[in-house]
Amino acid sequence: MKNNQQLYWKKNIRLILRCLVIWFAVSFGCGILFVDQLNRFSIGGYKLGFWFAQQGSIYVFLILIYYYTRSMSKLDKEFDVHEDYKLPRMSKVED
């Protein structure tokens, strides 16, 4: 049992680190470090480095949130710690 918990936690930490590396690369790397190289290209009339700093990083963050929740859901099911959520039944309201 304890080995299962440690493995679950290890996989969870690996997933978090993967997301943080992508988040750092996009926000800091594309928005600051590689801005000069990216500014050679443009999207919709805006320089790509500027676009990543203002818009692209937000889209990537949303994708990361989706990826994290999907991956955690799979991991929870793999280790049988998921929650079966069912919507509560609506009771009929009589007038």
Beta bridge partners, 43, equal 46
Residues 6+ apart with CB under 8 A from 54: 46
Tens digits of residue pLDDT in 80-94:
888 877 767 777 666
pLDDT at 44 over 80: yes
> pTM of the entire structure?
0.75
Non-local (6+) Cβ contacts of 80 within 8 A are none
pLDDT higher at 32 or 20: 20
Distance of CA 95 to the CA centre of its chain: 46
pLDDT band, residue 31 (cuts 50/70/90):
confident
The DSSP symbol for 9 reads H
Q: 26 and 63 in contact (C-beta within 8 Å)?
A: no
- So what's the pLDDT on residue 89? 75
Beta carbons of 49 and 30 less than 8 angstroms apart: yes
